[in-house]
A and B are shown apart, each in its own frame.
Chain A
Amino acid sequence: MSQRSQLLKGILEGCILSIIKQGPTYGYELSMKLQEFGLSDVSEGSIYPILLRLQKEKLIIGEMKKSPTGPKRKYYQLSLAGDDALDEFTHHWNAIKAPVDRIIERSNDK
């Protein structure tokens, strides 16, 4: 596995949890939101294996529901465990974000 995908996997999971927390969403909408936030480097399809894994770990709940426009779609929402996992991710992310930035900037300056 490339370094890029190693790095992305965990972070993408956190981002997906965070977006789902903002309200029930379905696959296509979720991937569009990720792109809008600037994660355009991530191939659109890569969210589906992650969504399956998050369901297996019972962090999110997927349900086939009628969409406002008519057809049935699979909507995802956060479970209680998912809420905790998101808190944990946010905590870890905040703890490493600033130091990693500083380290990389320092080495760039030299």
Chain B
Amino acid sequence: MNAKEIIKLNNEKRKQLTEENEYYYSDMLVYIRTCANKSEQQTEEVLLELLEHLLKAQEQGKTAKDVFGKDLRAYCDEVIEEIPGERTLKNVTFGIYLVVNLISIVMLSVGIISYAMHTLFDLGPNGIIFPLGTGLVIILISLASLSIWVIAIFKWIKHSTFKAKKPKKWTEFFRLWLMCVVFIGIIVATFILMPEFGMRITISFTTFIILGILLYITSILLNKKFRITK
């Protein structure tokens, strides 16, 4: 049984929890899952064990606090401490997958839209033209802000667990919205503000789109090989 199958089983079984236990357990689940650099397989196996134990205990009227102790966060820290850390390689392949996938989608959409603009409306040059230096710097800044954004989201999710009072839905939404706006703002700003430098490069539409397709196929193959999203 691989980690993805265990997650599915966990999702099914979690429905049997009482409202109170579901409240505690989902916090534990989020808290333990957001700890990076731990083996996903071991993490999911222990999460399923905790869930099954809680389901059995709840038949006797016990709550998560009776089973795992009053301080659930401290208990989770104890569990996390003992989960073997072998996830680094997985995190690297996941990062590469994300970058290749993102770049291929950007290339495909830019390529197809510019091609359509050029042939249908006679707008823009015949081919993709960009200064090499500027292009590379923009890609690097986008990727850096993307990783900071992902880390920030993770920290935020982890921080939101084990609160006596759950924050209101709309404040949560507003914070998430703000994080997205800042992220998109940074990327748009670099596009507008970045001065042009480096050699000007011209690539024909066909080459550009074919490159995009090749990268996209690479990302699909990576996903298949390392079972990233399946």
Are A53 and B53 in contact (CB-based, < 8 A)? no
Separation of A62 and B79 alpha carbons in the complex (Å): 16
Which residues 32-88 of B have a CB within 8 angstroms of A?
A: 42, 45-46, 48-50, 52-53, 56-57, 66-69, 75, 78-79, 81-84
Beta-carbon contacts under 8 Å, B95-137 to A: none
Which of A14-22, A41-49, A83-91 contacts its partner?
Answer: A41-49
Question: Which residues of B sit under 8 angstroms from A48, Cβ to Cβ?
Answer: 46, 49-50, 53, 79
Give complex CA distance A68, B109 in Å.
53
User: Is residue B9 within 8 Å, beta carbon to beta carbon, of the partner chain?
Assistant: yes
CB–CB A43/B82 < 8 A: no
CA distance A74 to B41 in the complex (A): 12
Chain B's closest residue to A43 (CB) is: B69
- The answer to whether B42 touches A45, judged by C-beta atoms less than 8 angstroms apart, is no
Given A52-B46, A62-B45, A72-B1; A44-B57 close (CB under 8 Å): yes
CB-CB < 8 A to A73: which residues of B? Answer: 52
Cross-interface CB contact of B67 among A26, A45, A52, cutoff 8 Å: A45
Whether A56 is near chain B, meaning CB under 8 Å from some CB there, is yes
Closest residue of A by beta carbon distance from B79: A49
Collect the chain A residues with CB atoms within 8 Å of residue B56's CB: 28
Interface residues of A in 15-71 (CB under 8 A from B): 26-28, 31, 43-46, 48-53, 55-56, 62, 64, 71
CA A56 – CA B82 in complex, angstroms? Answer: 8
Tell me which of B1, B68, B82 contacts A52 (CB under 8 A).
B82
Q: Do the beta carbons of A74 and B49 come within 8 Å of each other? A: yes
Q: Report whether B69 and A31 are in contact in the complex, using a CB–CB cutoff of 8 Å.
A: no
Q: A45 contacts B48, CB within 8 Å?
A: no
Which residues of A92-109 are within 8 A (CB) of B? none
Which residues in B have some Cβ–Cβ distance to A below 8 Å? 1, 6, 9, 42, 45-46, 48-50, 52-53, 56-57, 66-69, 75, 78-79, 81-84
Mind listing 14 A-B residue pairs with CB under 8 Å?
Answer: A28-B52, A31-B53, A43-B68, A45-B67, A48-B46, A48-B79, A49-B78, A49-B82, A51-B49, A52-B83, A56-B84, A64-B6, A72-B1, A73-B52
